[in-house]
Amino acid sequence: MAKDTNSASPLDRLYARIEAARGSDPDKSYTAKLFQRGRAKIAQKLGEEAVEAVIELVRDDKKALIGESADLLYHLMVGWAAAGIRPDEVWAELDRREGISGLAEKAARKPG
């Protein structure tokens, strides 16, 4: 069942646009170009955006950090789409972790 885009979160709407652009012309769509170039390029761009966000956080430049955060979220979602991960799967994982101490959750992931 399709979600009402008016009630969808901005991230859900972004993901829908990313999926819609998947088969677009790579000469006209940056998203299509990323998909065409493959997961390694998507991962590279995600890493670059993460580093740029870290730099702006350290610089304490709120406006720049907001922009870099948007870039980072976009590239993360392109990565999710390339890996076949839907946002609702990530939201479910966040819901599962809600109310669990971050330290306890992290300890539970460590191998025996």
Domain ranges of the chain: 10-85
Residue 99 is classified by DSSP as T
Flag residues of the chain having pLDDT under 50: 1-4
- Report pLDDT for 112: 58
**Residue 57 CB contacts under 8 Å (≥ 6 apart), including other chains:** 65
What is the CATH superfamily name and number for domain 10-85? MazG-like (1.10.287.1080)
E strands, 18-82, are none
Structure tokens at 52: 């740029």
- Report pLDDT for 107: 77
11 close to 73: Cβ distance less than 8 angstroms: yes
